[in-house]
């Protein structure tokens, strides 16, 4: 009796947790070198707004055991592990126009946003 083995199915490669655009990296470099020297940007997702979820950013001294570390070139950003399923494949950018400036998130997992752009849902 001959035994044949079937090869294991190929696992689909997951996209990176988060990528940063050149503009986001430039802004982070300035922040890390200036007023936020010695700190790291920590990104999480919380409940807020009419769509239910929002991106939350804060400065921390060091990673916690539950943080995922995202490295982009010479920069490090921390992501709360509870937020990873909502953020897989997200691109973080920095945009500046005449009236506003700030980090933005292009998240392929979003199914919609509220009208004011404060919150999203997946």
Write down the pLDDT at residue 31: 95
- Which structural domains are found in the chain, ordered by start? 18-109 (2.60.300.12)
**Would you say residue 90 has pLDDT above 60?**
yes
pTM: 0.80
Measured distance CA(61)–CA(101) in Å, rounded: 25
pLDDT digits (tens, 9 = 90+) for 40-59: 999 998 886 665 788 899 99
């Amino acid at each position: 009796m001959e035994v044949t083995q079937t090869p294991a199915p190929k696992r689909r490669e997951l996209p990176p947790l988060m990528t940063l655009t050149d503009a986001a990296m430039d802004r982070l470099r300035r922040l890390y070198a200036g007023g936020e020297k010695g700190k790291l940007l920590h990104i999480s997702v919380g409940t807020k707004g009419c769509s239910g979820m929002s991106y939350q950013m804060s400065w921390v001294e060091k990673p916690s055991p539950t943080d995922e570390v995202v490295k982009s070139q010479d920069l490090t950003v921390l992501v709360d592990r509870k937020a990873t399923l909502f953020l897989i494949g997200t691109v973080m950018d920095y945009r500046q126009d005449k009236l506003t400036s700030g980090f933005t998130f292009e998240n392929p997992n979003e199914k919609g946003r509220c009208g004011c752009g404060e919150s999203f849902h997946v």
